[in-house]
């Protein structure tokens, strides 16, 4: 039986009294790539923030590796360090590329951190730029460094928030290949938030459709695209949803 | 004459240097705290800080004068560690109060200008609260240096407060600005101009450093 990494139960998040996320039930399995799709403002990024424990829920529980967390019981730093996020923008520090990739490893005092940083940069094809200032990189290069910074940490769960939005086809392809390799070779559990249903189809084993903070449908790929059960999912997949 | 001249410059740099040390010691962590964290009364603290940045130095001099004078609330206590009026110590207190809001305010502004998502990214990479604060401070390191240089600029050329609490006593509390006032009144324009040139050179240097650093930030 497939091991469950996350169990979300009756999970809700509010900002200024407005409920932006309200998920009754969602399980995420070890080693899978789960794509979260949905219109803008549907709560996709909020869900990632909760999964990374960057925000705490106002209601409900997140069970991570069998431990139950909620608003009054947040995970320790050590537990939090098993998960990391690659955001839509690279969000690099004003340091060299190398120092950016080294940053998270140095926080953890990780063994073999030089080697891991080098490997990660090599994996994204940015080793030659190691001594460049990170803020001087193009958007695509910056996003690859951001990805290297995350994979160098060898996280149990990698969360990706629109990782290829606004990138050129070359960099989109490059990043998608890295994501696929990571999942295949290291069985890293991944949750990818994307607007792009074609990307979800290329990357994910399962797809979840989120709308107005609610989980409308979760299904395996390609069933999600070929035989959606909910009319709203069907409209979204067909590109007919107006929002 | 030359000895007087160098004494005045040395005392100016010593008083302003020590005042800057204390205002950085206080202003940097306070500015960082206000920039980094939300807490009740934060808006009021920010408003007070901005008021402090625009507060007339001579009024600060007056308040320090009243506080330290023998009949004042602090002076009357006779605390042995508290500087008396008309000493470099009193001038350091006044200059610390003048430059503190500059250091704290500019540090706060530098931190507030950071992309809020960067903080989430740093946290997501596994940083503790302390590591997040240190990383963000390091991100705005040039802004922090600019805040210190601005603090220095606000006190090295200040005259009203040091005149009030220092008294412009030759060999004891006479600094460049107060000496310029005195020498001009006496008609010693050569000395006044020479001191003016040194002061101008120092403030120019401070601004040059600040502009270069700001240029680096903008580049």
Residue A84, token pair as written in the block: 């990391």
Q: Does domain A4-82+155-238 have CATH number 3.40.640.10?
A: no
B interface test, pick of A77, A83, A156 with most B CB neighbours within 10 Å: A77
B interface test, pick of A46, A84, A90, A93 with most B CB neighbours within 10 Å: A93
User: What integer pLDDT is reported at residue B146 of this predicted model?
Assistant: 87
User: What integer pLDDT is reported at residue B90 of this predicted model?
Assistant: 96
Report ipTM for this prediction: 0.93
Q: Are B163 and B61 in contact (CB under 8 A)?
A: yes
pLDDT confidence band for B2 (50 / 70 / 90): low
- Are B127 and A54 an interchain contact pair (Cβ–Cβ within 8 Å)? no
pLDDT in tens, A90-147: 999 999 999 999 999 999 998 899 999 999 999 999 999 999 999 999 999 999 999 9
Using an 8 Å CB-CB cutoff, list chain A residues near B115. Answer: 91
For chain A, report the end-to-end CA distance as a whole number of angstroms: 39
| Domain locations along chain A | 4-82+155-238
Q: Nearest Cβ partner of B125 from A94, A104, A159?
A: A104
- Are A107 and B121 an interchain contact pair (Cβ–Cβ within 8 Å)? no
Sign for the pseudo-dihedral over CA of A198, A161, A174, A168: positive
User: What integer pLDDT is reported at residue B216 of this predicted model?
Assistant: 62
Residue B173, token pair as written in the block: 């509390």
Using an 8 Å CB-CB cutoff, list chain A residues near B127. Answer: 107
Q: What angle do CA B111, B115, B120 make, to 5 degrees?
A: 100
Residues in B 132-161 with any Cβ partner in A closer than 8 A? 135, 139
| Domain locations along chain B | 2-218
Residue scoring higher pLDDT (A240 or A104): A104
Residues in chain A whose Cβ is within 8 Å of chain B: 49, 52, 54, 77, 80-81, 83-85, 87, 89, 91, 93-94, 103-104, 107-108, 149-150, 153, 159
CB atoms within 10 A of CB A173: 13
Give exposure, A54-73, as e/b (b: 16+ Cβ within 10 Å): bbbbeebbbbbeeeebbeee
Q: Nearest Cβ partner of B125 from A49, A89, A103?
A: A103
What residues contact A136, with CB distance under 8 A and at least 6 apart?
Answer: none
Q: Nearest Cβ partner of A91 from B117, B126, B131?
A: B117
Using an 8 Å CB-CB cutoff, list chain A residues near B121. Answer: 85, 87, 91
Using an 8 Å CB-CB cutoff, list chain A residues near B124. Answer: 52, 54, 83-85, 87, 159
pLDDT in tens, A25-68: 999 999 999 999 999 889 999 999 999 999 999 999 999 999 99
B2-218 CATH choice from 2.60.40.10, 1.10.3720.10, 2.40.30.170, 1.10.4080.10: 1.10.3720.10
């Amino acid at each position: 039986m497939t091991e469950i990494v996350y169990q979300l139960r009756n999970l809700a998040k509010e900002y200024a009294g407005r409920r932006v996320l309200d998920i009754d039930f969602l399980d995420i399995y070890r080693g899978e790539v789960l794509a979260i799709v949905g219109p803008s403002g549907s709560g996709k990024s909020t869900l990632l923030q909760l999964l990374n424990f960057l925000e705490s829920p106002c209601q409900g529980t997140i069970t991570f590796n069998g431990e139950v967390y909620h608003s009054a019981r947040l995970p320790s730093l050590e537990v939090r360090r098993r998960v990391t996020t690659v955001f839509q923008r690279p969000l690099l520090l004003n340091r060299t590329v190398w120092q950016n990739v080294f940053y998270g490893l140095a926080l953890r005092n990780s063994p073999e951190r030089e080697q891991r940083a080098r490997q990660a940069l090599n994996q994204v094809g940015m080793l030659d730029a190691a001594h460049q200032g990170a803020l001087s990189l193009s958007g695509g290069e910056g996003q690859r460094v951001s990805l290297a910074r995350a994979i160098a940490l060898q996280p149990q769960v990698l969360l990706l928030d629109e990782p290829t939005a606004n990138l050129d086809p070359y960099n989109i392809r490059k990043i998608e290949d890295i994501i696929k390799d990571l999942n295949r070779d290291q069985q890293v559990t991944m949750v990818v938030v994307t607007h792009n249903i074609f990307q979800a189809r290329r990357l994910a084993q399962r797809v979840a459709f989120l709308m107005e903070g609610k989980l409308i449908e979760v299904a395996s790929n390609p069933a999600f695209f070929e035989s959606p059960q909910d009319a709203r999912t069907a409209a979204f997949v067909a590109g007919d949803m107006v929002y | 004459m030359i000895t007087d001249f160098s004494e005045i410059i040395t005392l100016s740099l010593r008083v302003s240097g020590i005042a800057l040390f204390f205002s950085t010691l206080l202003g940097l962590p306070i500015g960082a705290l206000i920039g980094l964290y939300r807490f009740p009364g934060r808006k009021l603290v920010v408003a007070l800080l901005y008021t402090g940045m625009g507060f007339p130095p001579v009024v600060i001099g007056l308040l320090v004068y009243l506080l330290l004078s023998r009949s004042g609330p602090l002076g009357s206590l006779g605390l042995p560690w508290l500087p008396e009026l008309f000493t470099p110590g009193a001038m350091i207190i006044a200059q610390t109060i003048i430059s503190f809001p500059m250091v704290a305010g500019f540090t706060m502004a530098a931190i507030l200008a950071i992309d809020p998502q960067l903080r989430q990214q740093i946290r997501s990479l596994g940083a503790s609260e302390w590591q997040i604060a240190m990383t963000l401070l390091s991100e705005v390191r040039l802004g922090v240096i600019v805040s210190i240089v601005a603090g220095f600029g606000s006190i090295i050329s200040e005259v009203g407060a040091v005149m009030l609490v220092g008294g412009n006593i030759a060999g004891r509390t006479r600094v460049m600005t107060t000496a310029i006032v005195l020498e001009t009144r006496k008609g010693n324009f050569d000395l006044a101009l020479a001191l003016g040139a040194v002061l101008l050179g120092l403030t120019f240097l401070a601004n040059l450093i600040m502009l270069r650093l700001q240029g680096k930030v903008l580049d």
